[in-house]
Structure 1
Amino acid sequence: MQKQFIPAIIGISITIPLFQITPTRAVQSGQVSNIAQGVVVFIKTQSGHGSGAIVKQVGDTYTVLTSAHVVDDAKSLALEIVTPDRESYDIDTDDIKIAPNNLDLATVTFRSDKKYPVVKLGDSNNVAKGQTVFTAGFLGKTLHFHPGKVVAISRKPQDSGYGLVVGNADILPGMSGGGLFNEAGMLVGINGKTIGSIDNYPSINGRTNKAKPVSGLAIPINTFTQVASQLRVELDNKATIPISSAPTADDFFVTAQNKSQKGNYRGAIADYDRTLALNPNFGEVYFRRGLARNVLRDWRGANADYSSAIVFKPDHAEAYTNRGLIRNILKDWKNAKSDFDLSIIFNPRASFAYVGRGIARCELKDYRGGIGDYDRAIALNPNYAETYTSRGLAYYSIGNKQSALNDYLTAAEIYRKQGKNREYLEAVRRVRDL
């Protein structure tokens, strides 16, 4: 994975921003975004890029906190830090410190006679489920900032330190090492893993297609404060980490997320089961367990889980979409269409819902309605080749061979560019059959 983060500007004027900033929709997030813009630096390596937050200044020496996997290859490869004022600083290997105990944390120091803001560290013990937090990180050279909600926080040691789950946070590939901020603009965690890009939507033929991330994993900032001295960072205050004696539902949920991120879906399902045994009203668990069952092609189990998720959250657009896609696989076309109808009501920009509804409509012989849905899906996501293939089949079904041919050719070209040789050859075969 690559990396992420953001910068903060308290009392500092940066007249030439280094990166374009993705605007946020929440009014309250504006001040937090400004804080993030001043404290996060861009970390550039030969193998990728990431981000880090300035957490300490002593004289002309600044310390940046990031993820270990952002810089762990920098012992043999060049590393460079770029600050918000476009200044670049080459980093020596001696300036990189990797956290002990397999924690995915590291610090990098650089020296400058310029004045840069330092982020205030929060207390992750005060982070609570349902709390609004903000993720920040770089997508390429674009600084991305997005609100999310804390889904769970574990008080027990977790794999690589990832004890905090944030939902709907858009922690996207390339954002590892980024900051998790509370509403006061204080750093309460370090982001580094995504759950969801490996949890797949089922397609009509039972194959799976990568979906957008549904949550991210972060390391609570108090985990860093406990090892800061070993990273040669002396802090004024060290918050303790209370560890519960008996495992909680959140502990098992976080463990399940870590297992899912590594592809251990059966192990994740077992931990989701343990979560629900302790807290059967933890509604989000049903959706996550459904995603894991998707990957294992347990369509009926996933269908049941999405139904339970909807009971807890009747406007859960993604649950309706996923259940509809599974019902397509099970050839329950009418109920699938109803699911897609509801998904689109709750999220009119859900491109997969239009694709799924188009499939259901075509199976119900409403080819023109299906074509209309495919049109909407393509407008929202023009690079998803399977939509063109499905629309081409719909056009062929109503006798419009030229439009079908055009769609198959478009699909073939997209597959070719994406390096999907099997799908490319299938699209070419369809063209030849016409």
Structure 2
Amino acid sequence: MKTYIFLFLFCSYFSAYSQDFNDIDLKEIPQEIENINAAILKEPNGDNYYLRGYYYYQIKNYPKAIADYDKAISLNPNNYKFYYSKGNTNIKLKEYKQAIDCYTKCIALNNNLQKVYFNRAYSKTMINDAKGAIDDYSKSISINPKYLQAYQNRGIIKQKLNLHKEAIQDFDKVIEINPKFVEAYQNRAISKALVNINAKSDFDQVVGLSPEDPEAYYNRAIYFINFKIKGDYCSDLKKAVSLHFDPSIELLAKYCKK
């Protein structure tokens, strides 16, 4: 009898990069920009250009934001915040190498900011520098040992590198910090399964935390089928189908004919 191996659906998206925002009504920004324009005429200093760049960033005019951050840097090249904000804007433009350069300059001026290492790690991930990203997430964690998103992202990278035991340790930490973080249970379950550690309780936890997520039922069914674990995979597949998850239809027809 032919054996079929079906793939798990990984929760492989990364937590977004860290940003700093002040409460501001977007409707007020055009007037704020006019005010800053007047201020720049009187005092064309780095702080004023930086503030205008921040407002342009808020209204998603990223090229103008970059231009103002560049001007601010030219006037005051020792302000780490200018490089950090420019790096964030580069990420919005998907210019990840430029973002990395900005964060590196920021770190040279202030090497104790968890969010800068986190954002540089995120940018390195986007250019497939897995080792560099892991190193930066580790540095971010060393600054803030409770940085949940850094553990989660580092675990996902390790999982993709088939470093499942190390990934499990990161997902353990995420769950310790937030016991209801469903994606960590899902990814930990998959890594456990792939190194032959019993993962049923984690798959059960995912279903319990996300009862309307069809992928939770689908992945548990895959676990039962692939690893010949005793469990009601037919009920899981039926539930996934009822939640309109089409990949479950073929498996349901193949394994649950009665």
Q: Partner of 1:250 in structure 2?
A: 81
Over the aligned positions, Cα root-mean-square deviation in angstroms equals 3.5
Cα distance per residue 1:69-103 (max 9 Å; x no partner): xxxxxxxxxxxxxxxxxxxxxxxxxxxxxxxxxxx
For residues 389 and 304 of structure 1, do their structure 2 counterparts lie closer, same or farther at Cα, with a shift above 3 Å needed?
Answer: farther
Q: Partner of 1:272 in structure 2?
A: 103
Identity %: 23
Q: Partner of 2:159 in structure 1?
A: 328
Using the alignment, how far apart are the partners of 2:105 and 2:179 within structure 1?
A: 35
Q: Partner of 1:430 in structure 2?
A: 251
Using the alignment, how far apart are the partners of 2:164 and 2:13 within structure 1?
A: 20
Q: Partner of 1:108 in structure 2?
A: none
Q: Partner of 2:224 in structure 1?
A: 395
Q: Partner of 2:34 in structure 1?
A: 227
Q: CA deviation at 1:245?
A: 2.8
Q: Which has the higher helix share?
A: 2
Using the alignment, how far apart are the partners of 2:135 and 2:104 within structure 1?
A: 14
Q: Unaligned regions of 5+ residues in structure 1, if any?
A: 1-203, 231-239, 417-424
Q: Partner of 1:74 in structure 2?
A: none
Q: CA deviation at 1:384?
A: 4.3
Contact 1:208–1:295 (8 Å) recurs in 2: no
Using the alignment, how far apart are the partners of 1:229 and 1:322 within structure 2?
A: 38
Q: CA deviation at 1:337?
A: 1.4
Which region of structure 1 is more displaced relative to structure 2, 399-408 or 243-252? 399-408
Q: Partner of 1:241 in structure 2?
A: 48
Using the alignment, how far apart are the partners of 1:211 and 1:412 within structure 2?
A: 28
- The equivalent position to 2:207 in structure 1, one of 347, 356, 378, is 378
User: Matched residue pairs, number?
Assistant: 213
- Answering whether residue 191 of structure 2 is matched by residue 357 of structure 1, we say no
- Answering whether residue 140 of structure 2 is matched by residue 319 of structure 1, we say no
Q: CA deviation at 1:307?
A: 1.0
Using the alignment, how far apart are the partners of 2:79 and 2:209 within structure 1?
A: 41
For residues 349 and 399 of structure 1, do their structure 2 counterparts lie closer, same or farther at Cα, with a shift above 3 Å needed?
Answer: same
TM-score by length of 1: 0.42
- Answering whether residue 123 of structure 2 is matched by residue 292 of structure 1, we say yes
Using the alignment, how far apart are the partners of 2:247 and 2:240 within structure 1?
A: 10
Q: Unaligned regions of 5+ residues in structure 2, if any?
A: 1-7, 38-46, 51-74
Q: Which has the higher strand share?
A: 1
For residues 217 and 410 of structure 1, do their structure 2 counterparts lie closer, same or farther at Cα, with a shift above 3 Å needed?
Answer: farther
Q: Partner of 1:209 in structure 2?
A: 13
Q: Partner of 1:107 in structure 2?
A: none
Q: CA deviation at 1:309?
A: 0.9
Q: CA deviation at 1:291?
A: 2.1
Using the alignment, how far apart are the partners of 1:208 and 1:410 within structure 2?
A: 23
Using the alignment, how far apart are the partners of 1:212 and 1:412 within structure 2?
A: 30
Q: Partner of 2:42 in structure 1?
A: none
- Pick 1 or 2: higher relative contact order, CA cutoff 8 A, min separation 6: 2
TM-score by length of 2: 0.67
Q: CA deviation at 1:392?
A: 1.5
- The equivalent position to 1:405 in structure 2, one of 229, 234, 242, is 234
Aligned-partner residue type, residue 375 of structure 1: D
Using the alignment, how far apart are the partners of 2:143 and 2:204 within structure 1?
A: 32
Mapping for residues 141-156 of structure 1, pairs under 5 Å: none
